[in-house]
Structure 1
Amino acid sequence: MTAPLLVLTDFSPDADLALRHATALAALLKAPLLLLYVRRESLLDPEALTGSIRHLNEEQIAAAFAERTAGLSVPVVTESVNDRLPEALAAAVQKYAPALVVLGKPDTQQTPDQLVSTTALNLLRSTNTPLLVIPLPANDPVLPRHLLVALDGEPFSFATPPVGVQELLRELQPRLTVCHVASNAEAESVPAHDILAGSGLLDGLDLPVETHTVLDSDVPAGILRAATDVQADWLVLPARRRSFWGQLFNQSVTAQAVLHSSRPVLLLPTS
């Protein structure tokens, strides 16, 4: 059976939007969904300070699951666990081996970056599974036909082949644009197309690949501008270990792109 797509939910509008996107992808892949709700009851949970945690009883959780899974076009398994989010996700990934984890992100454009949760990058630390972040507000799901792959100019590879992402690319057959943000001096020195080919991501796939260079000293802003320039549907970012080990979320190019992208962002953890 095709590996499932794992959707994290807290029954919020951004999580519901992520579920709709995941359902469209699962239908394309003929894959099931796993809808995971993580119950956090400790008053010492640091994320409780944001006011984002709702303490639901078993009956309320069952009703919320039923409301969201009614009428879905793909098989779905629901699970509720008590744990911190990274640990809960790591356990679910080990148990179900999902092809992709899908996560909704609330609208944080009016919130200072340093106050925004590091959830997405912390989840990458806890597992080696690609993570699709769906921002709110975002459009209702439309299968992406054009992906912008932003590279930093250095080769990358995968500790575990991203088989689920490769299968998704095989079914989508999207156009790919490889982007490198550079200063004028280095603009012509980065073989972005060769770096993507050398990563193994496109092995066995025959997809059209274009290149696009942006001259900008602000790399995250340049990446987002490139996505607008080429009218990409999704942004794809290889997430290097060093880019999300820092303590401050806003120090990472990857983090900045996740924070401010109005498009879905697919994060690919590299070795």
Structure 2
Amino acid sequence: MKKIMVATDYSESANSSVQYGVSLANHFGSLLSLVSAVEEPYSAAAGALIDVKDHIRDEAMETMDKVKREVSGQLTSGATIDTHTVDGEPGPTITRVAKAKDYNLIVTGTKGSDAARELFTGSVANSVIKNSKLPVLVVPDKIPFREFRRILIAVDEKSLAGSHVLQPLIDVLSAYDAELIVYHGDEDGDGKGYDPRLGQYLGDVNHRFEVRSGKDDSIAEGIEQAVKLHDADLLVMIYHDRGFFGRLFNESTVSKVVFKSTVPLLVLQDV
């Protein structure tokens, strides 16, 4: 992961996203880009619109420079930092910039501050997850930073496009020397249902499987309970963009977890 984007509004709640971005950059020796999207404000007067937009952009750039100075002193192992302020609606703009600049990972939060006009809400995170082909790390509002020591990946019954889908996870496991728990909610109780190639794809990484009956709980609740039971530092899910109904179901489950998760959520793209 040589290029990491942190999409931030520089509110207090965005600090958690920045801290996780710094940690990842230090482990991988990455370029860490802090990116703020300036959405066009609503105004009936064209002149006022321009003035307000310029004010928001100037304020964002001023705060960006301050955060850059603070973060620069935290970078190690050859990691570097740059900043960008771009115009546009946050979700589509983040996705567009990440693709154009060949980033390897997007980090974003689930909530922005009122002062920043709540630009980075859960809906923005969901927009980035659904429209980007990159892995997305979603950091819940105001959680304390924790190193990744135990990671839980929740898998469903769908087969993966290939081993490349799990590569970002494998990279993180290796960089942090973390343990992996593969969790599957087995609704019909037959002990099966996940891609049988998962073990092969994971190779020599430190991992173990856990299959539980999910009859009495919703999928999202089962995942939440597994994270708490194992005291996981990171939750991983796979977003499958295949077919309308399958995608709709996948979006619903991921969205519920995004809003309820108490740990960062890494969403891998099955493409």
* Cα deviations by residue, 1:2-25 (Å, 9 ceiling, x for unpaired): 521100011112222100111011
Are 2:165 and 2:270, in contact at CA under 8 Å, matched by a contact in 1? no
Structure 2 CA distance for aligned equivalents of residues 80 and 245 of structure 1: 32
| Alpha-carbon distance change, 189 to 212 in structure 1, aligned in 2, over 3 angstroms | closer
Q: How does 1:42-121 map to 2 (within 5 A)?
A: 42-43=41-42, 56-70=55-69, 71-73=73-75, 74-106=79-111, 117-121=122-126
Q: Tell me the equivalent position of 2:174.
A: 170
- Which residue in the other structure is 1:253 paired with? 253
Give the deviation of 1:266 after TM superposition.
Answer: 0.6
Superposition pairs of residues 141-152 of structure 1, within 5 angstroms: 142-152=146-156
Gaps of 5+ in 2: 44-52, 113-120
Partner of 2:12: 13
How far has the Cα of 1:106 moved from its partner? 2.7
Superimposed CA distance per residue, residues 71-126 of structure 1 (whole angstroms, 9 cap, x where no aligned partner): 3414111001111223322332223222211011239xxxxxxxx74222211232
Q: Distance in 1 between matches of 2:195 and 2:256?
A: 24
Equivalent residues, number: 247
- Residue 225 of structure 2 is matched in structure 1 by 225
* 1:123 counterpart residue number: 128
Say if 1:149 and 1:91 are closer, same or farther in 2 by CA, change over 3 A: same
SS state at 1:167 partner = helix
- Could you say which residue in structure 2 is the equivalent of 1:23? 22
Aligned mates of 1:187, 1:123 — CA distance in 2:
34
Give the whole-Å Cα distance in 1 for the aligned partners of 2:255 and 2:217: 17
The match for 1:180 is: 184
**What's the secondary structure of 1:178's corresponding residue?**
strand
Give 1:190's aligned amino acid. K
Q: Give the TM-score of the pair, scaled to structure 1.
A: 0.79
Per the alignment, residue 198 of structure 2 pairs with 196
CA 75–124 in structure 1, closer or farther in 2 if over 3 Å, else same:
same
Matched, 1:154 2:158: yes
User: Could you give the per-residue CA deviations for residues 163-215 of structure 1, whole angstroms, max 9, x where no partner exists?
Assistant: 544322221222111111233xx2233154735236x4x35x53232324243
The 3 A distance-change label for structure 1 pair 178 and 164 is: closer
Structure 2 equivalent of residue 238 of structure 1: 238
**Aligned mates of 2:235, 2:54 — CA distance in 1:** 34
Partner AA of 2:127 in structure 1 = N
- In structure 2, C-alpha distance between the alignment counterparts of 1:36 and 1:137, rounded to whole Å: 19
- Paired residues of 1:234 and 1:265 also in contact (CA < 8 A): yes
Cα 1:33/1:176, change in 2 over 3 Å: same
Unaligned runs of 5+ in 1: 45-53, 108-115
1:56–1:120 Cα change, 3 Å? same
Find the aligned partners of 1:32 and 1:3 in 2 and give their Cα distance.
6
User: 1:261 offset after TM fit, Å?
Assistant: 0.7
Identify the range of structure 1 (14-23 vs 187-196) with the bigger mean alpha-carbon deviation.
187-196
Q: Provide closer, same or farther for how the CA distance between residues 43 and 6 of structure 1 changes in structure 2, counting only shifts above 3 A.
A: same
Q: TM-score by structure 2 length?
A: 0.79
Do the aligned residues in 2 keep the contact of 1:3 with 1:97 (CA within 8 Å)? no
Residue 179 of structure 2 contacts residue 206 of structure 2 at CA under 8 Å; is this kept in 1? yes
Task: Tell me how large the CA RMSD over aligned residues is.
Answer: 3.0
